[in-house]
Amino acid sequence: MDVKPLLLFTGFFFLAACSTNQATSGPTKLGKPISEAQVAAWNIDISESGIGLPAGSSTPKIGASIYQAKCALCHGDKGQGGVANQLVGGGALNTEKPVKTVGSFWPYTATIFDYVKRSMPHQAPQSLTDDEVYGVTAYILYMNKIIGFDDMMNAKTLPLVTMPNRDGFVRVER
């Protein structure tokens, strides 16, 4: 039996079915509306310069216990990685297989705060208080030997910390 006519017929049928124009009017009824409060809860972006950082403060000393309780399970007790990314070390990026960590890759401290606040811990994003996020961010910076153990991080001091790879990116203006 020659299957070419059958394949040709099937192909034409498929094209005809795909090309029918079924215009819909009105909403597609996908998803559900959300409230202004729900939008506001996720509208927490923080710029690289620190605009949008909330009130609060902490030190690596305080952040160490928060990190051990809420971060170490995934990122390792010393930031060495585990089921989640390595946060500490990384070395030079101009190698064949660079290891991109907070210490070797991230250019701005405010974006570290933003990411931790928005996304961590993985199983409960946005569950950390602002003080806890400052503490965890400070502790990660301390583990990478970027700040001291007693350095206070807040909306003023955090953006002033210069990351090792701050000049490793080229800004593209739009």
Check residue 39 and give its pLDDT. Answer: 84
Show the tokens assigned to 132.
């806890």
Residue 140: which H helix or E strand, with range? helix 130-143
3-state secondary structure 26-95: CCCCCCCCCCHHHHHHHCCCCCCCCCCCCCCEECHHHHHHHHHHHCHHHHCCCCCCCCCCCCCCCCCCCC
pLDDT average per 10 residues of sequence, the chain (174 residues)? 61 61 67 87 86 97 98 97 95 89 95 96 96 98 98 98 90 82
Amino acid 38: pLDDT: 86
pLDDT of residue 148: 98
Quick one: pLDDT at residue 23? 59
| Distinct helix (H) and strand (E) counts, the chain | 6, 2
pLDDT reported for residue 92: 84
Which domains, and CATH codes, for the chain? Answer: 47-164 (1.10.760.10)
Q: What is the pLDDT of residue 2?
A: 64
pLDDT at 30: 84
Note the pLDDT of residue 94: 87
